[in-house]
Amino acid sequence: MAMLLEIRDLHIEALGEDGRWQEIVKGVSLELEPARVLGLIGESGAGKSTIGLAALGYARHGCRLARGSIRLEGEELFGATSEKLREIRGVRVCYVAQSAAAAFNPAHRLDDQVIEAAVQHGIMSPGEARAEARRLYAKLKLPDPATFGRRYPHQVSGGQLQRAMTVMAMVPRPDLIVFDEPTTALDVTTQIEVLAAIREAITDEGMAAIYITHDLALVAQMAHRIMVLRHGLEVEVGPTERILEAPREDYTRALVGVRRVQKPEKPRSGGAPLLEVRHVDAAYGAVPVLFDVSVCLEAGRTVAVVGESGSGKSTLARVITGLLPPRKGEVRLDGRPLPPSLKERAKDQLRRIQLVYQMPDVALNPRQKVEEIVGRVLTFYFGTNGAERRREVERLLEEVELPAGFADRYPAELSGGQKQRVCIARALAARPEVIICDEVTSALDVQVADAVLRLLLRLQEETGVAYLFITHDLATVKAIADDIVVMLEGRVVEQGPKSEILSPPHHPYTDLLLSSVPEMEVGWLDRVLRERAERKARGEAVMEAADR
């Protein structure tokens, strides 16, 4: 069969900080037949987005296509003139970006953007394009297809915007669509619907697709073939079933293998709780965010707070740390109520609760060395200074499995995982009893995240620190929690020991959340959708994602 896309020995370079070109894609070849889906998978820095964009003959600012060949139906895109490339882009190859919220122009209505490529390239008249857009809005199950396009991007939800972006890519009827992590920015319950909609649409319209993601379980639902990438090189490529069931390379095996971090649930001690949140209501200005939230944490245990964006889980962390005084209710530490506001708390009360943030990049002062970042805490709480402080910083770094010499580094000289370890060391420096971990692994690649989780568990064994673990990632919850608190729209819908929450019968929302987590098996998506449809047909209560 004739190939739609053939990439041969493609090298792509990026301009490094030292002003020299460095190879980020080091000779990758791939081919794609019409109406087939190829999955590109790998961690960040694997070069998958860069390769995806190269299918449109495009290199991001600061990157360049160095050598190789990119053929679309035999036509060479490498080194093609910008006029030539303009005739390809938005006509025969379209692109769906990771964050539709950022990829839509805030100044124009959705329709104007959705039909723009088709109209500008003279493929359709504005009227025809609008009709086609309406048809596709309906196909992707967007609300009010007739009027949906009149809205501005900020007037629709993230999940809807992501689907609108898919419509935008489909209106010109391209031969190939490049999906670049199209569901990564979405909640897990919304993701499943967007996935199903995208898959149905590309199958029906007979378009080929390159589906880029870091989540193997996801790509297994979408792709006929999968290519595994690492450090800009192909690891292996093959049909989806083969990659999942018989991976040839160790790296693929590691990706396919289930999470290795697994901690048995610790039995409750029955003692007095260390940290107690009692009937807390909280609001940002006039907007109420938390309603009657009660959570309880015993010493040395881990409570995982799960929920989707907007469920109020990070607000809960702000209430506990005193950054946001609650409207009602109180927070108790060791049975004694804590002053609601950070400013009123004693130094020792502050010391006992520490916080580790989601984004280690922004949580570290880029102008301070690690020694200063961690050492400040020692000076502040314990008055440690000089050589003693240095020794203590080095000890803490070793504790989080970093070389002592990292004390002299600036954050920019560390990787994402290393930065998060520094953040953990900083929290540990205060010798806290509770560490609140707010999505601490979600900005990290799977394997790095696993290592950080293992570190956290080891530290808990050694120091007896309790974790309040805030996350949207159920795999993380399964791995490390003792107790689980499920939150939805500012309320606790269910809480209890891990074993209880994770085994049926579930609260309908917990059920929706659990069943939406992609599993590493071909056909998982079909199975879940079928089961949900059957249960609905039987008249059982099935909750749907609140995609507002």
Binding residues vs another protein (CB under 8 A): 53, 56, 58, 60-61, 85-91, 94-95, 97, 99, 102-108, 116-117, 120-121, 151-152, 154-155
> Which CB, 171 or 295, lies closer to another protein?
171
Distance spanning both ends of the chain, measured CA to CA: 44
> Which CB, 141 or 151, lies closer to another protein?
151
> Which CB, 91 or 436, lies closer to another protein?
91
> In the complex, what is the shortest distance from the CB of residue 389 to another protein, in angstroms, rounded to a whole number?
41
407: which residues sit within 8 A by CB, 6+ positions away? 369, 370, 371, 374, 390, 393, 394, 397
> In the complex, what is the shortest distance from the CB of residue 365 to another protein, in angstroms, rounded to a whole number?
25
> Which CB, 108 or 535, lies closer to another protein?
108
> In the complex, what is the shortest distance from the CB of residue 158 to another protein, in angstroms, rounded to a whole number?
13
Helix, strand, coil shares of the chain, percent, nearest 5, are: 40, 25, 35
175: which residues sit within 8 A by CB, 6+ positions away? 4, 34, 72, 73, 92, 93, 207, 208
Q: Pick the closest to residue 21 from 63, 61, 50, 59 (CA basis).
A: 63
> In the complex, what is the shortest distance from the CB of residue 102 to another protein, in angstroms, rounded to a whole number?
4
Q: Pick the closest to residue 295 from 328, 317, 263 (CA basis).
A: 317
Alpha helices for 410-519 (secondary structure H):
416-429, 446-463, 474-480, 498-502, 508-515
> In the complex, what is the shortest distance from the CB of residue 106 to another protein, in angstroms, rounded to a whole number?
6
Q: Pick the closest to residue 149 from 113, 106, 110 (CA basis).
A: 110
> Which CB, 169 or 237, lies closer to another protein?
169
Inter-residue contact 428 to 456 (CB < 8 Å): no
To which residue do tokens 């098996």 refer? Answer: 521
> In the complex, what is the shortest distance from the CB of residue 543 to another protein, in angstroms, rounded to a whole number?
24
> In the complex, what is the shortest distance from the CB of residue 89 to another protein, in angstroms, rounded to a whole number?
3
> In the complex, what is the shortest distance from the CB of residue 152 to another protein, in angstroms, rounded to a whole number?
5
386: which residues sit within 8 A by CB, 6+ positions away? none
Cα separations in angstroms, 84 against 11, 60, 77, 89, 169: 21, 18, 8, 9, 19
To which residue do tokens 């910083």 refer? Answer: 393
> Which CB, 17 or 348, lies closer to another protein?
17
> Which CB, 164 or 316, lies closer to another protein?
164
> In the complex, what is the shortest distance from the CB of residue 122 to another protein, in angstroms, rounded to a whole number?
11
Q: Pick the closest to residue 274 from 304, 302, 313 (CA basis).
A: 302
To which residue do tokens 């040395």 refer? Answer: 300
DSSP reduced 3-state for 537: helix
392: which residues sit within 8 A by CB, 6+ positions away? 375, 378, 384, 429
> In the complex, what is the shortest distance from the CB of residue 410 to another protein, in angstroms, rounded to a whole number?
25
> Which CB, 103 or 455, lies closer to another protein?
103
> Which CB, 97 or 465, lies closer to another protein?
97
Query: What order of strands is seen across the sheet that includes strand 37-41?
Result: 93-96, 176-180, 208-213, 37-41, 225-230, 233-239
> Which CB, 99 or 447, lies closer to another protein?
99
344: number of CA atoms within 13 Å, CB side?
8
